[in-house]
Amino acid sequence: MSQLQAAASSSSGAPTTPALEADLEGKLLLHDDNVSPLAAPPQIKRGERRQPREGGADVVGDQRERFLRAYDRLRDELLDDDSCELTDEARRWVAQMIDYNVPGGKLNRGLSVVDSYLLLKQGSEVAEDEFFLACVLGWCVEWFQACALLLDDIMDDSHTRRDQICWYRRPEVGLHGINDGIVLKCHIARLIKKYFREKPYYIDICELWNEIALQTSLGQMLDLISTHNVANDVAKYNIEVYRRIVKYKTSYYSFYLPVACALLLYGAKLENFSGLRDDDYLDCFADPNTIGKKNYGKKDSTSVSKVKNTYSTLDLKDIFSEFEDRAYKHLVTSIEAQNDRAVQEILKSFLKKIHRRKK
Protein backbone atom coordinates (compact mmCIF):
# COMPACT_ATOMS: atom_id res chain seq x y z
CA MET A 1 0.00 0.00 0.00
CA SER A 2 1.41 3.40 -0.98
CA GLN A 3 2.05 6.20 1.51
CA LEU A 4 -0.87 8.12 0.05
CA GLN A 5 -3.19 5.16 0.59
CA ALA A 6 -1.92 4.71 4.10
CA ALA A 7 -2.66 8.35 4.87
CA ALA A 8 -6.07 8.04 3.26
CA SER A 9 -6.87 5.03 5.40
CA SER A 10 -5.80 6.99 8.47
CA SER A 11 -8.38 9.58 7.44
CA SER A 12 -10.96 7.16 8.80
CA GLY A 13 -10.08 8.55 12.20
CA ALA A 14 -7.52 11.28 11.52
CA PRO A 15 -3.89 10.78 12.54
CA THR A 16 -4.39 10.33 16.27
CA THR A 17 -2.33 10.21 19.39
CA PRO A 18 -3.27 7.65 22.06
CA ALA A 19 -5.10 10.39 23.96
CA LEU A 20 -7.18 11.33 20.92
CA GLU A 21 -7.82 7.65 20.24
CA ALA A 22 -9.08 7.12 23.78
CA ASP A 23 -11.32 10.20 23.53
CA LEU A 24 -12.94 9.06 20.30
CA GLU A 25 -13.44 5.50 21.50
CA GLY A 26 -15.13 6.75 24.63
CA LYS A 27 -17.56 9.00 22.79
CA LEU A 28 -18.47 6.97 19.71
CA LEU A 29 -22.08 5.87 19.38
CA LEU A 30 -24.00 4.49 16.45
CA HIS A 31 -24.69 6.52 13.37
CA ASP A 32 -24.59 5.89 9.65
CA ASP A 33 -21.61 7.35 7.72
CA ASN A 34 -23.36 8.65 4.67
CA VAL A 35 -23.40 12.38 4.09
CA SER A 36 -25.57 14.05 1.53
CA PRO A 37 -24.52 17.44 0.25
CA LEU A 38 -26.64 20.24 -1.10
CA ALA A 39 -29.61 20.48 -3.41
CA ALA A 40 -29.64 19.29 -7.01
CA PRO A 41 -29.28 21.88 -9.76
CA PRO A 42 -32.02 22.73 -12.23
CA GLN A 43 -32.49 20.22 -15.03
CA ILE A 44 -30.27 20.94 -18.04
CA LYS A 45 -31.64 20.09 -21.45
CA ARG A 46 -29.45 18.04 -23.74
CA GLY A 47 -27.14 20.28 -25.71
CA GLU A 48 -27.78 23.21 -23.39
CA ARG A 49 -24.76 24.86 -21.79
CA ARG A 50 -24.53 26.48 -18.39
CA GLN A 51 -24.08 30.21 -18.69
CA PRO A 52 -20.96 31.70 -17.09
CA ARG A 53 -21.62 34.13 -14.26
CA GLU A 54 -21.81 37.82 -14.99
CA GLY A 55 -18.83 40.10 -14.41
CA GLY A 56 -15.32 39.24 -13.39
CA ALA A 57 -15.47 36.03 -11.40
CA ASP A 58 -12.56 35.26 -9.14
CA VAL A 59 -10.14 32.46 -9.97
CA VAL A 60 -11.93 29.87 -7.82
CA GLY A 61 -15.31 30.80 -9.27
CA ASP A 62 -13.93 30.65 -12.79
CA GLN A 63 -12.50 27.19 -12.16
CA ARG A 64 -15.86 26.00 -10.86
CA GLU A 65 -17.66 27.40 -13.90
CA ARG A 66 -15.22 25.66 -16.23
CA PHE A 67 -15.72 22.45 -14.28
CA LEU A 68 -19.50 22.73 -14.60
CA ARG A 69 -19.25 23.37 -18.33
CA ALA A 70 -17.18 20.20 -18.67
CA TYR A 71 -20.09 18.29 -17.14
CA ASP A 72 -22.44 19.38 -19.92
CA ARG A 73 -19.98 18.25 -22.56
CA LEU A 74 -19.32 14.87 -20.92
CA ARG A 75 -23.00 14.18 -20.36
CA ASP A 76 -23.83 14.91 -24.00
CA GLU A 77 -20.95 12.72 -25.20
CA LEU A 78 -22.23 9.82 -23.11
CA LEU A 79 -25.73 10.28 -24.50
CA ASP A 80 -24.26 10.14 -28.01
CA ASP A 81 -22.25 7.00 -27.22
CA ASP A 82 -22.77 4.35 -29.89
CA SER A 83 -22.17 1.33 -27.66
CA CYS A 84 -25.94 0.72 -27.65
CA GLU A 85 -28.71 1.73 -30.04
CA LEU A 86 -30.86 3.55 -27.52
CA THR A 87 -34.39 4.65 -28.32
CA ASP A 88 -35.25 8.31 -27.85
CA GLU A 89 -37.18 7.36 -24.72
CA ALA A 90 -34.19 5.50 -23.27
CA ARG A 91 -31.85 8.37 -24.08
CA ARG A 92 -34.19 10.82 -22.31
CA TRP A 93 -34.25 8.48 -19.31
CA VAL A 94 -30.45 8.35 -19.11
CA ALA A 95 -30.21 12.13 -19.49
CA GLN A 96 -32.70 12.74 -16.68
CA MET A 97 -31.05 10.09 -14.49
CA ILE A 98 -27.60 11.66 -14.90
CA ASP A 99 -28.84 15.20 -14.24
CA TYR A 100 -30.79 14.07 -11.18
CA ASN A 101 -27.97 12.14 -9.54
CA VAL A 102 -24.55 13.42 -10.63
CA PRO A 103 -24.18 17.23 -10.31
CA GLY A 104 -26.34 17.95 -7.27
CA GLY A 105 -23.81 17.97 -4.42
CA LYS A 106 -21.07 20.35 -3.36
CA LEU A 107 -18.73 18.73 -5.92
CA ASN A 108 -15.89 18.74 -3.39
CA ARG A 109 -14.50 15.44 -4.57
CA GLY A 110 -14.50 16.34 -8.23
CA LEU A 111 -13.16 19.84 -7.73
CA SER A 112 -10.43 18.39 -5.53
CA VAL A 113 -8.96 16.67 -8.60
CA VAL A 114 -8.73 20.03 -10.37
CA ASP A 115 -7.47 21.87 -7.28
CA SER A 116 -4.82 19.23 -6.61
CA TYR A 117 -3.63 19.22 -10.21
CA LEU A 118 -3.32 23.01 -10.30
CA LEU A 119 -1.36 22.96 -7.04
CA LEU A 120 1.01 20.37 -8.46
CA LYS A 121 1.46 22.54 -11.57
CA GLN A 122 2.21 25.74 -9.63
CA GLY A 123 4.70 27.82 -11.53
CA SER A 124 3.79 26.16 -14.84
CA GLU A 125 1.17 27.21 -17.34
CA VAL A 126 -1.81 24.85 -17.52
CA ALA A 127 -3.07 24.42 -21.07
CA GLU A 128 -6.80 24.26 -21.72
CA ASP A 129 -6.65 20.59 -22.71
CA GLU A 130 -4.77 19.75 -19.50
CA PHE A 131 -7.37 21.54 -17.41
CA PHE A 132 -10.14 19.69 -19.24
CA LEU A 133 -8.52 16.31 -18.55
CA ALA A 134 -8.43 17.22 -14.85
CA CYS A 135 -12.15 18.03 -15.14
CA VAL A 136 -12.81 14.66 -16.80
CA LEU A 137 -11.22 12.81 -13.90
CA GLY A 138 -13.00 15.09 -11.44
CA TRP A 139 -16.35 14.29 -12.98
CA CYS A 140 -15.50 10.59 -12.98
CA VAL A 141 -15.18 10.91 -9.20
CA GLU A 142 -18.57 12.64 -9.08
CA TRP A 143 -20.09 9.92 -11.28
CA PHE A 144 -18.69 7.35 -8.86
CA GLN A 145 -20.15 9.24 -5.91
CA ALA A 146 -23.55 9.33 -7.64
CA CYS A 147 -23.43 5.59 -8.29
CA ALA A 148 -22.47 4.85 -4.68
CA LEU A 149 -25.16 7.08 -3.21
CA LEU A 150 -27.90 5.87 -5.55
CA LEU A 151 -27.28 2.22 -4.66
CA ASP A 152 -26.68 2.99 -0.98
CA ASP A 153 -30.06 4.74 -0.76
CA ILE A 154 -31.77 1.62 -2.11
CA MET A 155 -29.96 -0.68 0.33
CA ASP A 156 -30.66 1.66 3.25
CA ASP A 157 -34.29 2.26 2.27
CA SER A 158 -33.59 5.99 2.43
CA HIS A 159 -36.11 8.70 1.59
CA THR A 160 -34.20 11.88 0.77
CA ARG A 161 -30.87 12.78 -0.75
CA ARG A 162 -29.53 16.29 -1.35
CA ASP A 163 -32.79 18.01 -0.44
CA GLN A 164 -34.87 15.91 -2.81
CA ILE A 165 -36.56 12.52 -2.89
CA CYS A 166 -34.17 9.65 -3.58
CA TRP A 167 -34.04 8.69 -7.25
CA TYR A 168 -35.37 5.16 -6.67
CA ARG A 169 -38.35 6.54 -4.73
CA ARG A 170 -39.64 8.37 -7.75
CA PRO A 171 -42.73 6.40 -8.83
CA GLU A 172 -41.41 5.80 -12.35
CA VAL A 173 -38.06 4.46 -11.10
CA GLY A 174 -38.33 2.07 -8.17
CA LEU A 175 -35.87 -0.82 -8.20
CA HIS A 176 -35.01 -0.05 -11.81
CA GLY A 177 -32.67 2.40 -10.10
CA ILE A 178 -30.30 -0.51 -9.44
CA ASN A 179 -29.56 -0.71 -13.14
CA ASP A 180 -29.19 3.07 -13.29
CA GLY A 181 -26.45 2.82 -10.67
CA ILE A 182 -24.67 0.23 -12.79
CA VAL A 183 -24.96 2.49 -15.84
CA LEU A 184 -23.36 5.37 -13.93
CA LYS A 185 -20.42 3.14 -12.98
CA CYS A 186 -20.02 1.99 -16.59
CA HIS A 187 -19.94 5.61 -17.74
CA ILE A 188 -16.69 6.10 -15.81
CA ALA A 189 -14.93 3.39 -17.80
CA ARG A 190 -16.17 4.92 -21.07
CA LEU A 191 -14.86 8.37 -20.17
CA ILE A 192 -11.49 7.08 -19.00
CA LYS A 193 -11.05 4.99 -22.13
CA LYS A 194 -12.00 7.87 -24.42
CA TYR A 195 -9.69 10.45 -22.90
CA PHE A 196 -6.79 8.47 -21.45
CA ARG A 197 -6.21 5.27 -23.43
CA GLU A 198 -3.32 6.87 -25.32
CA LYS A 199 -1.69 8.19 -22.15
CA PRO A 200 1.33 6.39 -20.66
CA TYR A 201 -0.47 6.15 -17.32
CA TYR A 202 -3.67 4.61 -18.74
CA ILE A 203 -3.09 1.22 -17.08
CA ASP A 204 -2.30 2.96 -13.78
CA ILE A 205 -5.58 4.90 -13.92
CA CYS A 206 -7.60 1.78 -14.77
CA GLU A 207 -6.00 -0.16 -11.94
CA LEU A 208 -6.58 2.74 -9.57
CA TRP A 209 -10.28 2.90 -10.36
CA ASN A 210 -10.72 -0.88 -10.18
CA GLU A 211 -9.04 -0.92 -6.78
CA ILE A 212 -11.13 1.95 -5.43
CA ALA A 213 -14.37 0.40 -6.73
CA LEU A 214 -13.58 -2.87 -4.97
CA GLN A 215 -12.57 -1.18 -1.71
CA THR A 216 -15.71 0.97 -1.67
CA SER A 217 -17.97 -2.01 -2.45
CA LEU A 218 -16.38 -4.04 0.34
CA GLY A 219 -16.75 -1.07 2.68
CA GLN A 220 -20.45 -0.95 1.82
CA MET A 221 -20.70 -4.66 2.59
CA LEU A 222 -19.02 -4.13 5.97
CA ASP A 223 -21.51 -1.36 6.72
CA LEU A 224 -24.49 -3.53 5.80
CA ILE A 225 -23.24 -6.47 7.87
CA SER A 226 -22.49 -4.31 10.89
CA THR A 227 -25.89 -2.62 10.69
CA HIS A 228 -27.56 -6.04 10.68
CA ASN A 229 -25.44 -7.17 13.63
CA VAL A 230 -26.09 -3.97 15.58
CA ALA A 231 -29.83 -4.50 15.36
CA ASN A 232 -29.29 -7.68 17.39
CA ASP A 233 -26.31 -6.72 19.55
CA VAL A 234 -25.17 -3.10 19.95
CA ALA A 235 -21.94 -4.23 21.64
CA LYS A 236 -20.72 -5.62 18.31
CA TYR A 237 -20.33 -2.06 17.02
CA ASN A 238 -17.01 -0.76 18.30
CA ILE A 239 -14.25 1.64 17.31
CA GLU A 240 -12.52 -0.89 15.06
CA VAL A 241 -15.72 -1.67 13.18
CA TYR A 242 -16.33 2.06 12.77
CA ARG A 243 -12.81 2.72 11.48
CA ARG A 244 -12.91 -0.14 9.03
CA ILE A 245 -16.20 1.01 7.51
CA VAL A 246 -15.11 4.64 7.14
CA LYS A 247 -11.73 3.62 5.76
CA TYR A 248 -13.08 1.48 2.94
CA LYS A 249 -16.54 2.90 2.29
CA THR A 250 -15.62 6.58 2.38
CA SER A 251 -11.98 7.57 2.80
CA TYR A 252 -10.42 5.93 -0.22
CA TYR A 253 -12.72 7.41 -2.83
CA SER A 254 -13.21 10.71 -1.01
CA PHE A 255 -9.58 11.57 -0.22
CA TYR A 256 -7.18 9.15 -1.85
CA LEU A 257 -8.85 8.93 -5.27
CA PRO A 258 -8.98 12.66 -6.17
CA VAL A 259 -5.35 13.24 -5.22
CA ALA A 260 -4.20 10.01 -6.89
CA CYS A 261 -5.93 11.04 -10.13
CA ALA A 262 -4.22 14.44 -10.04
CA LEU A 263 -0.83 12.86 -9.38
CA LEU A 264 -1.17 10.44 -12.30
CA LEU A 265 -2.28 13.27 -14.59
CA TYR A 266 0.77 15.20 -13.41
CA GLY A 267 2.99 12.27 -14.31
CA ALA A 268 3.92 11.31 -10.76
CA LYS A 269 4.22 7.91 -9.13
CA LEU A 270 1.67 7.37 -6.38
CA GLU A 271 4.07 5.65 -4.02
CA ASN A 272 6.13 8.82 -3.75
CA PHE A 273 3.37 10.84 -2.10
CA SER A 274 1.31 10.87 1.04
CA GLY A 275 -2.08 12.19 1.80
CA LEU A 276 -5.20 12.65 4.27
CA ARG A 277 -10.08 12.25 7.39
CA ASP A 278 -13.74 13.18 8.35
CA ASP A 279 -17.27 12.23 7.46
CA ASP A 280 -19.47 10.36 9.87
CA TYR A 281 -20.47 12.62 12.73
CA LEU A 282 -22.56 14.86 10.47
CA ASP A 283 -25.44 12.40 10.20
CA CYS A 284 -26.23 12.58 13.90
CA PHE A 285 -27.18 16.24 14.32
CA ALA A 286 -28.31 17.23 10.83
CA ASP A 287 -31.96 17.27 9.90
CA PRO A 288 -32.69 14.20 7.71
CA ASN A 289 -34.47 16.46 5.23
CA THR A 290 -31.20 18.37 4.84
CA ILE A 291 -28.72 15.56 4.97
CA GLY A 292 -30.86 12.87 3.39
CA LYS A 293 -30.45 10.12 6.03
CA LYS A 294 -32.14 9.00 9.25
CA ASN A 295 -30.77 5.53 9.96
CA TYR A 296 -28.96 4.94 13.24
CA GLY A 297 -29.00 1.17 13.55
CA LYS A 298 -32.81 1.18 13.42
CA LYS A 299 -34.83 3.17 10.91
CA ASP A 300 -38.00 4.04 12.80
CA SER A 301 -38.32 7.61 14.06
CA THR A 302 -38.75 6.53 17.69
CA SER A 303 -35.40 4.73 17.71
CA VAL A 304 -33.71 7.63 16.00
CA SER A 305 -35.13 10.05 18.58
CA LYS A 306 -33.89 7.87 21.44
CA VAL A 307 -30.36 7.76 20.01
CA LYS A 308 -30.29 11.54 19.52
CA ASN A 309 -31.57 12.10 23.04
CA THR A 310 -28.79 9.88 24.36
CA TYR A 311 -26.24 11.89 22.38
CA SER A 312 -27.66 15.09 23.83
CA THR A 313 -27.63 13.76 27.40
CA LEU A 314 -23.97 12.78 27.06
CA ASP A 315 -23.17 16.19 25.54
CA LEU A 316 -21.43 14.46 22.62
CA LYS A 317 -21.89 17.41 20.30
CA ASP A 318 -19.63 19.66 22.37
CA ILE A 319 -17.27 16.83 23.24
CA PHE A 320 -16.81 15.98 19.58
CA SER A 321 -16.26 19.65 18.75
CA GLU A 322 -13.38 19.74 21.22
CA PHE A 323 -11.99 16.49 19.83
CA GLU A 324 -12.24 17.85 16.28
CA ASP A 325 -10.23 20.94 17.20
CA ARG A 326 -7.43 18.85 18.67
CA ALA A 327 -7.48 16.44 15.71
CA TYR A 328 -7.34 19.42 13.36
CA LYS A 329 -4.23 20.80 15.03
CA HIS A 330 -2.62 17.35 14.93
CA LEU A 331 -3.38 17.05 11.20
CA VAL A 332 -1.90 20.47 10.45
CA THR A 333 1.31 19.48 12.23
CA SER A 334 1.47 16.21 10.28
CA ILE A 335 0.82 17.95 6.97
CA GLU A 336 3.50 20.56 7.58
CA ALA A 337 5.97 17.74 8.18
CA GLN A 338 5.63 16.69 4.52
CA ASN A 339 8.68 17.49 2.41
CA ASP A 340 6.82 18.41 -0.76
CA ARG A 341 5.32 21.92 -0.59
CA ALA A 342 2.68 21.16 -3.25
CA VAL A 343 1.54 18.09 -1.33
CA GLN A 344 1.25 20.23 1.81
CA GLU A 345 -1.04 22.63 -0.03
CA ILE A 346 -3.13 19.79 -1.44
CA LEU A 347 -3.67 18.22 1.97
CA LYS A 348 -4.46 21.59 3.56
CA SER A 349 -7.06 22.24 0.87
CA PHE A 350 -8.75 18.94 1.76
CA LEU A 351 -8.62 19.74 5.45
CA LYS A 352 -10.19 23.15 4.86
CA LYS A 353 -13.10 21.54 3.02
CA ILE A 354 -13.96 19.04 5.74
CA HIS A 355 -13.15 20.92 8.96
CA ARG A 356 -16.23 22.27 10.74
CA ARG A 357 -18.41 21.39 7.80
CA LYS A 358 -22.13 21.35 8.47
CA LYS A 359 -23.29 19.25 5.49
With a cut of 80, say whether residue 282 has pLDDT above it: no
Task: Give the pLDDT confidence score for residue 338 in this predicted structure.
Answer: 73
Domain assignment of residue 134, yes or no: yes
Domain assignment of residue 157, yes or no: yes
Task: Give the pLDDT confidence score for residue 285 in this predicted structure.
Answer: 31
Number of domains in the chain: 1
Closest CA to 242 of 66, 33, 42, 89: 33
Closest CA to 41 of 104, 106, 110: 104
Return all residues near 15 (Cβ < 8 A) that are at least 6 apart.
7, 277, 330, 331, 334
Domain region containing 284: 3-354
The whole-angstrom separation of Cα 37 and Cα 101 is: 12
Return all residues near 120 (Cβ < 8 A) that are at least 6 apart.
262, 263, 266, 268, 342, 346
Domain assignment of residue 65, yes or no: yes
Domain assignment of residue 206, yes or no: yes
Domain assignment of residue 216, yes or no: yes
Domain assignment of residue 359, yes or no: no
Domain assignment of residue 215, yes or no: yes
CATH of residue 294: 1.10.600.10
Beta-ladder partners of 296: 298
Q: What pLDDT, in 10s, does the model give residues 99-127? A: 999 998 889 999 999 999 998 888 788 99
Exposed/middle/buried for residue 66 (C-beta within 10 Å: 0-12, 13-18, 19+):
middle
For residues 53 and 126, the model is more confident at 126
Largest CA distance in the chain: 60
Return the minimum-mean-pLDDT range out of 156-160, 234-238, 296-300: 296-300
Domain assignment of residue 117, yes or no: yes
Task: Give the pLDDT confidence score for residue 159 in this predicted structure.
Answer: 93
Q: How confident is the model at residue 51 (pLDDT cuts 50, 70, 90)?
A: very low
